[in-house]
């Protein structure tokens, strides 16, 4: 049986993924820190694009290839297309990332599904064994 998850579990999964993503970004930023000789990278457009593409790659690769990120795997939930397709598309990944960044999780307070799930036509579900 499949069941949708709530706000608390969704935010906990996000926290797991953010910690993992932070550690990935930390180590992958070493070349920029070295080349920039430790100066501020905040205004470096190449670094900002680099970080942006790493974030896009992290989520889309895990969602498309494995149907779950590492944070989702620890809670035994996965992402699914609402039409029952086996895998979600890259376009759905981009929509999920964009709408989650502008506060799509807040929608869970009033609804069973988040804004980014509604827009991308996906949902996060837990499969009971």
Each residue's pLDDT tens digit, 36-75: 776 677 777 888 898 999 999 999 999 999 999 998 898 8
Please state the pTM of the whole predicted model: 0.83
Detail the DSSP E strand segments found in 1-129.
2-4, 77-81, 122-127
Q: How many domains does the chain have?
A: 1
Phi, psi angles (nearest 5°) of residue 107: -60, -25
107 contacts: CB under 8 Å, gap ≥ 6? 113, 114, 115, 118
pLDDT of residue 128: 66
**Domain interval for residue 88:** 2-127
Whether the Cβ atoms of residue 115 and residue 7 lie closer than 8 Å to each other: no
């Amino acid at each position: 049986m499949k069941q949708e998850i709530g706000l608390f579990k969704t935010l906990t999964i996000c926290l797991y993924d953010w910690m993992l993503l932070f550690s990935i970004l930390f180590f992958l930023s070493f070349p920029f820190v070295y080349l920039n000789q430790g100066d501020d990278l905040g205004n470096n457009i190449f670094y900002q694009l680099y970080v942006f593409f790493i974030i896009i790659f992290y989520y889309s690769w895990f969602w498309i290839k494995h149907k779950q990120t590492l944070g989702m795997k620890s809670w035994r939930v996965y992402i699914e297309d609402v039409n029952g397709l086996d895998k979600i598309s890259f376009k759905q990944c981009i929509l999920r990332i964009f709408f989650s960044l502008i506060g799509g999780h807040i929608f869970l307070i009033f609804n069973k599904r988040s804004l980014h799930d509604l827009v991308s036509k996906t949902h996060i579900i837990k499969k009971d064994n």
